[in-house]
Amino acid sequence: MNKILITGSLGQIGSELTMALRERYGHQQVIATDIREADHPVVTSGPFETLDVTDGDAMQEIADRYQVDTIIHLAALLSAKAENNPQLAWNLNMNGLMNALEVARKREAKFFTPSSIGAFGPTTPKDQTPQLTVQRPTTMYGVNKVAGELLCDYYFERFGVDTRSVRFPGLISYDTEPGGGTTDYAVEMYYEALKQGRYTSYIAAGTYMDMMYMPDAVKAIIDLMEADPARLKNRNAYNVTAMSAAPEDFARAIQQHIPEFELDYDVDPVRQAIADSWPNSIDSKAAKDEWDFTIDYDLNKMTEDMLTQLKQKLVLD
């Protein structure tokens, strides 16, 4: 990867991945784009362009101007927001992806876009969900992700585009606040533990979902993009995970550092229905076998780091 174009660079993944790639490949080698500008190091530490990914011509012009050879397409509407506006979700998630793949095809660029555990549905095996299994999601976000996996496979088989992807679980980050995902309760819980000493979860007790700390997610993207293509069989997309946890598991981990922290529940039926349609835990063996996927953070190590980082952030804010 010599010149990397990132869409959605101010989002939850993009804000941290952009900075990690600039540190690794050089600040001028990573072109960040988003539909908006913000007061953030992503905008000030290297090239930044305002881009609406539904405008394919604008994306092509930026890619050509910077002579990019790698595209990391992150711009998307997340699961809960997508249910509130399914038409917008289809337009942004699918037409934006098609535009990005077309630019990759024309530039013969390497390509990454994330899929999600949202690509699974209620008929998918719930425990240790295998790499290849039933994918019949019941959400617009899930439909977008399954279609996206197939579309990336098509561009690899039909046009030879080097497409790669992972199915991310819920991602937990201290850098960017929650952006409308079903698993965002976990991020919110850490914030509220420090601010209020209590949290009301919109996801019910006993609801297990896979999660991952953002440093491990960033590492997974970079490791996959740097992997030998000859080893890759399940390109679009690999199961990856770090932990399977329910709200009370996060609460217990937080209470090791804030003993007085309290958790209660006010379940949101829309987001709970989404969570109930997803796996309890997934099997990441294919990622380990084909590109040596590993993690650095379990629940307790992540909790310690999240609370440390958020204390500093909340003081600065």
- Tell me which amino acid residue 34 is: D
The arrangement of strands across the sheet holding 209-213 comes to 170-172, 209-213, 243-245
Eight-class DSSP state of 117: G
Helix (H, G, I), strand (E, B) or coil at 78: coil
Could you tell me if 115 and 148 are in contact, meaning their C-beta atoms sit under 8 angstroms apart? yes
Tell me whether residue 265 is one of the annotated catalytic residues: no
Could you tell me if 68 and 107 are in contact, meaning their C-beta atoms sit under 8 angstroms apart? yes
What is the maximal distance between C-alpha atoms in the chain? Answer: 57
Q: Cα–Cα distance between 234 and 166 in angstroms, integer?
A: 9
Q: Cα–Cα distance between 294 and 183 in angstroms, integer?
A: 22
Q: Cα–Cα distance between 108 and 163 in angstroms, integer?
A: 11
Q: Cα–Cα distance between 191 and 200 in angstroms, integer?
A: 12
Could you tell me if 131 and 237 are in contact, meaning their C-beta atoms sit under 8 angstroms apart? no
- Identified catalytic residue from 141, 190, 202, 297: 141
Angle between helix 214-225 and helix 12-25 axes, rounded to 10 deg: 50
Q: Cα–Cα distance between 267 and 277 in angstroms, integer?
A: 15
Active site residues: 141
